[in-house]
Amino acid sequence: MNAKGAVLPVGEGFAPAVIEWLKEALNREIFEAVLIPVETPAEDSYAYLLIQNPAILDRASPLPPVMPVQGGKAIGRLTMRGTLNKRVAAVVRPCEARAAIELTKLKQAHLTNLFLITLDCAGVLPLSDYLEDPATAGARFAEAVTQGDRSPMRPSCQICHRFSLASAPGVDLHIGTLGIDEGSAVIVPGSLKGERILEQMGVSEDDERARPVAEMLERWTTQVAEVTEAQIERRRQAHAELQEAVAGADRLLETFSTCINCHNCQRACPVCYCRQCYFESTALKLPPDNYLARATAKGALRFAPDTLLFHLGRASHMALSCVSCGACEDACPMDIPVGQVFSLLADRAQEALGYVAGRNVDDPLPLVAYEMEELHGVEQPYVEIYREQEVQDA
């Protein structure tokens, strides 16, 4: 068994091949259930379904054209209160896996017995674009994916540089398609759990045309690296332009001037896990005198107040764990570029602390973890002051 990867033969198309593989894994009881997007009954959207019955799995879509619910959020709902008893495979996009990893660090998800399976992702369409006409949008999406064209995708997807395994080496299995022609895909393990699954599944090491898996892995790795580099450049440019447009209090106020305080962004965010957001709590429900004094001081007080404060507060609470998925922007009824602004803030914050959200479940969350030497800034440890004296006394 080559631990570096295996071939997934793609005969009838990519999605059916992935589903067949999942069914076989269910059949062999490697997994007992699968969490995966499935088209809704009205065929106008997709929802995460936890599936045991293989017949339902036939309707699944491993890479649907939209992301109505962030998969990390679905994993959180499933495991927030503890560890699964059944072995469940979650088939999600890389940013969804990264959100699940952040939630795990925040103790809002439990990954034991959960197998994270990710796929090379070309992005998703903005929900509003898709809902205008789901049937044609689906075809447009498929075409764009084939062309490697990210322009119709969510703005966050257009500048995503963490669309493949390299961004979350902690996932259990990743299915790679980039750089490999349509006849095949590679399944790459990211963990010991993943390696064991591949061994149990006994997937072939060369494809139908007898190309060795090593060659395909090589092509995939090269292509992923190339696209990543191009995407990093796109992201850098987009963020530079965005910074021009939004930096500073005045421009931020302008950016959020159309906000109606619905807090959909916070609700759609996979990382914002608070049962009750501080900004909706009684802490900010004040006596009328307070509002009127603020209105008098300024001549006018936007009401309800604290609109920008909500966004800045949310950013300071979650920027280190922001996975730049764009779910917030999709949920905004006012088309505010909230996902782009947050991705800019998040990149800067994470860079400053040498942290990448969702990269690895073992990376400690900067503001939650303390290191011994950091305490020096506050006080000199006891041992350093008294050790010498203690030794002498002894």
Partner 1 sequence: MPEGATSSAFTPERLRTNQGAEETVRQLLRSLLQSGQVEAVLALGKTGTEERGVAYSLFTEPDAFAMDGDALPLLPFMPANGGGLLSRLTLGGALARPVAAVIRPCELRAFIELMKLNQGGLDNVVLISSTCAGVYPLGTAVNGNLDERVSSYWEGMEHGELDEAVRPTCRACESFIPEGADITVALFGEEDLDRQCTLYLNTERGAALAQRLEGTTVTGNSERAAIERSKGERDAFRQKLFAGVDVGMTGLIHTFGRCIGCHGCKTVCPICYCQLCHFDSHDCEREPGYYEGELRRKGGLRVPPDTVFFQLGRMAHMALSCVGCGMCSDVCPADIPVSTIFSKVAASAQATFDYEPGRDLAEEIPLRTFKEEEFAQVAT
Helical pair 14-27 and 192-201, crossing angle rounded to 10 deg: 90
Contact flag: residue 128 with partner 1 (CB under 8 A): yes
CB closer to partner 1 out of 264 and 343 = 264
Which residues within the stretch 318-337 sit at the binding site for partner 1 (CB under 8 A)? 330-335
Contact flag: residue 258 with partner 1 (CB under 8 A): yes
Using CB under 8 A as the criterion, what x/- string covers residues 66-95 for binding partner 1? --xx---xx--xxxxxxxxxx---------
Beta carbons within 10 angstroms of residue 331's beta carbon: 21
Among 29, 41, 135, 393, binds partner 1 (CB under 8 A): 41
Query: Burial of 269 by CB count in 10 Å (0-12 exposed, 13-18 middle, 19+ buried)?
Result: buried
Q: Cα(107)–Cα(237) distance, rounded to whole angstroms?
A: 35
Q: Are strands 46-51 and 6-9 parallel, antiparallel or unpaired?
A: unpaired
Burial 204-222 (b: 16+ CB within 10 A, else e): eebbeeebebeebbebbbe
Contact flag: residue 53 with partner 1 (CB under 8 A): yes
Beta carbons within 10 angstroms of residue 250's beta carbon: 8
By CB under 8 A, which span of 141-149, 208-216, 220-228, 293-301 interacts with partner 1? 293-301
CB closer to partner 1 out of 300 and 383 = 300
Beta carbons within 10 angstroms of residue 312's beta carbon: 15
Contact flag: residue 248 with partner 1 (CB under 8 A): no
Contact flag: residue 222 with partner 1 (CB under 8 A): no
CB closer to partner 1 out of 127 and 323 = 127
Helical pair 338-352 and 307-318, crossing angle rounded to 10 deg: 40
Contact flag: residue 47 with partner 1 (CB under 8 A): yes
CB closer to partner 1 out of 61 and 261 = 261
CB closer to partner 1 out of 220 and 279 = 279
Compute the least distance from the CB of residue 346 to partner 1, in Å. Answer: 21
